[in-house]
Amino acid sequence: MVKIATWNVNSIRARLGNVVEWLEAARPDVLLLQEIKTVEETFPLMEIKGLDYEALVVGQKSYNGVAILSRDTILHPVTRLPGDADDEQARYAEATTFGLRVASIYLPNGNPATTEKYTYKLGWMARLRDHARGLLAGEQPVVLGGDYNVIPAPQDVYEPARWTDDALYKIETRQAFRTILNLGYTEAFRALHPNKHAYTYWDYQGIAWSADQGLRIDHLLLSPQAADRLNACEIDSKPRGKEKASDHTPIWCELESAA
């Protein structure tokens, strides 16, 4: 089995203790990180390598930032989403490891939805769709994981009526997400849990965590070659209850090893 997880850690340096604790307990083979909020020079490589992980870090000072941690060699890295040479935001990392092509994705939030931030989000999603289509042409197992900032359906958010005009839930956002799935990708959690209400994010404000007022916005998308090997996919909510927790929690899937 190969276990692949994704987690928006909301600052790797602020949450390092929680990340190390979870890596030691859960032992994913690959961990895709988002919102690391640091550059490569200040990423805690020593602590990560001490746990027998290699790291591909795509950082940005104080904002954004993604990384791929793997217990195997990391090959053929890509550090920007193709399609816009002027986009300098650190939101995408891609590499081959364990015989899989994996990507760590931090898709733009897009709020307020009446501003250019939403235009940027939809444009970024269109670029991701085009790149995801190209990855399928290689006929290799692909896992596109990360914080998509997309609520796919009403069952993925508490009180969905309150979110109609939010950039995470607007109909245009959900349609753009479906165009990626319609290329042939499988959303791992929903494939195995079609009716389950479960969340990956709870706001720091108010009683969101204690009242389970959450959103499911972190996803693992699998190419057909990866989906054929899907054995399990679960959300681990325990890290959200820790002190100094990220507002997101890990989601992971297990793929059967290649024959």
What string of DSSP letters covers 168-212?
TT-HHHHHHHHHHHTTT-EEHHHHH-TT----SEE-SSTTTTTTT
> What is the mean pLDDT of the segment spanning 148-155?
98
Q: How many folded domains does the chain comprise? A: 1
C-alpha–C-alpha distance, residues 132 and 219, integer Å: 15
Q: For residue 192, how far is the Cα from the chain centroid? A: 18
| Claim: this prediction has a pTM higher than 0.95 | yes
Pair of tokens at residue 223:
């190419």
Residue-wise pLDDT for 53-81, tens only, equals: 999 999 998 889 999 999 999 999 999 99
CATH of the domain at 157: 3.60.10.10
Domain span including residue 22: 2-255
C-alpha–C-alpha distance, residues 35 and 59, integer Å: 9
For residue 140, which amino acid is it? Q
What is the per-residue pLDDT for 259? 60
Under DSSP, the state recorded for 156 is G
Residue-wise pLDDT for 159-205, tens only, equals: 999 999 999 999 999 999 999 999 999 999 999 999 999 999 999 99
Under DSSP, the state recorded for 157 is B
C-alpha–C-alpha distance, residues 117 and 106, integer Å: 14
